[in-house]
Amino acid sequence: MGIFSYDFMRNAFIASTFIALTTGVVGVFVSARGMSFLAHTLSEIGFAGAAFGVFLGIPPLDGMLAFTAVSSVAVGRLSARASRREESISAVSSLFIGLGILFLSLSNQSSSYATTILFGSIIGISSQDVVQLIGLAIFVLVTVVIGYRWLAFDSFDSIGAKAQGLNTRLVSVYFLIILAVSVSIGAQIVGSLLVFILLTLPPSVAKYLGRTLPQMMLISVAAALIGVWVGLILGYLTNWPVTFFIATIEFIFYFLALGYHNLHN
Amino acid sequence: MQTPLLTVDHLNFGFYDRPLYQDLSFELAPGSMTSLIGANGVGKTTLVRLLMKQLKPQTGTITYRQDPAVSIGYVPQFRNLEDEYPLSIRSFVALNHPRHFPWLTASDKQALNRVLDETHLLDRQHQRLGAASGGEKQKAYLAQALLDRPNFLILDESTASLDVNTKIELMDLVKELNQNNGLTVLFVTHDLNLAKQYTDQYLLLTKDGSEMKPVSEMDVTTMPEELQPVVEFQEED
């Protein structure tokens, strides 16, 4: 297939495979913890971080990692009380979008650069980026495996976890850092505006179809993988934005799964 | 006499200007079934937190038997599981596995099967918990707390949201575990009828003090008004 004769397409495929693995696994916990909205906010914070990176002249991914890691813990603490979760997340996200716009404007970059950060780009991924991305993805997956028992218990039954003496606050911070890194990774292909697609839709599909945690993770990763792979191929063939195809595919999966769930319950 | 499983001696605890217990003393014998009764706000849940060492007594002591050591299983009062909660009953119970990893070992599975069997959930283990009945949910919570085989079980108002038949079914099950496995049970409740029917003794907490008595000596008419049954409980056949 001619598609793999281009370096950038090979890079994009490798990168998106690791992105789908990471977001598919982490997303299952995002969905169980009811943190979809927070994932969305972190994407916007990631945009500000990338813009800050551009402004400083460091790689946007590094700027993203710094911003999402620091702010995820801050947002997590601000929104510890469920009653004010939504408003505190909205407040933080407005500030960060504002900052992102400021940094982009200060850095004198053209608006096409903003488009790349917000909506993603498959052409811009170098082999070096791919190596860094794989390293981060492995970091996230290993961290999930190490903390698996606590993450699973606290995410799927926080009251029970607390009753058994688990330090659920600590687990929360642990997870927020995992989430921050996953957002930064995911944004590399689909863009920061839409990275939450990969963190929320495949796990929702898994939630409707799976009944055990391993099943859910497999389904979620599969839905994410099919989305990014087919999205890349269709993007290559049509020259339309890959993000559009990924969003559409995940949307279709979500509604099929929801329909299946409603039929069987 | 057997060493008590739990000895509470001259316990004092309160929040700021609100003292909850003054010189509370009682013992729980191994294999006993005790109800903890009291009106709202009298400090039942606080006592449970003290027993679980989440709070420290201001004065007095809480001592557990050392040999064999006491391990506590706790079934909390509220769970906030939505209807779309995805995990099966089996997967939910397994969350409490001490070595829980994505895939369970043969001995993990054995322990899980055993507790599902004891709580009569084997037939329903693949049912989604979100779609399970109230009674099945309570049994699953119970099974989860029992997975690491505690010898002391604390049930916090576990029957409060259930209908009469389901209450009886759950309490029959707890009694069965108490008799077959020698599980010591502390049952926190508002329900004097259940306390009388299923437990051996009761610990009544009131603003003015506390008393520990066999349930045979319970006089419902002298209980605090809030605890009086509103609708008389009917024995089902």
Tens digit of each residue's pLDDT (9 = 90 or more) over B64-92 = 999 889 999 999 888 878 888 999 999 99
| Cα–Cα separations (whole angstroms), residue A33 to A130, A221, B161 | 30, 18, 25
Residue in B closest to A167 by C-alpha: B54
Lowest mean pLDDT across A21-30, A117-126, B118-127? A117-126
User: Are the beta carbons of B141 and A160 separated by less than 8 Å?
Assistant: yes
Query: With contact defined as beta carbons under 8 Å apart, do A188 and A46 qualify?
Result: no
> Beta B59-64 vs B33-38: how paired, if at all?
unpaired
Question: What are the tens digits of pLDDT across the range A228-238?
Answer: 999 999 999 99
The phi and psi torsions of B71 (rounded to 5 degrees) equal -120, 140
How far is it, in rounded angstroms, from Cα B75 to Cα B142?
6
Chain B residues touching A160 at Cβ < 8 A: 76, 79, 95-96, 141, 144-145
**pLDDT at res. B153:** 95
Chain A with chain B: Cβ pairs closer than 8 A: 69
Does residue B233 surpass a pLDDT of 60?
no
Mapped onto helix, strand or coil, the DSSP state of residue B72 is strand
Do A230 and A245 contact (CB within 8 A), yes or no? yes
Stretch (H or E) spanning B33: strand B33-38
β-pairing, B201-206 with B209-214? Answer: antiparallel
Which residues of chain A lie closer than 8 angstroms to B108, CB-CB? none
Question: In which residue ranges of chain B is CATH 3.40.50.300 found?
Answer: 1-71+151-164+181-232
What is the distance in angstroms between the Cα of A165 and the nearest Cα belonging to chain B? 9
pTM over 0.95? The answer is: no
Between the alpha carbon of residue A216 and those of residues A157, A199, A220, B86, the distances in Å are 16, 13, 6, 9
Residue with tokens 């029957």: B159
What CATH number is given for A2-264 in this structure? 1.10.3470.10
CATH of the domain spanning B1-71+151-164+181-232: 3.40.50.300
Average predicted confidence (pLDDT) for chain B: 87
Indicate the SS3 state at residue B18. Answer: strand
Set of chain B residues whose Cβ sits within 8 Å of the Cβ of A28: none
Report CB contact under 8 Å: B79, A160: yes
Q: How far apart are CA B182 and CA B155, in angstroms?
A: 16
Cβ atoms of B231 and B191 closer than 8 Å: no
Torsion sign across C-alpha atoms A148, A85, A97, A123: positive
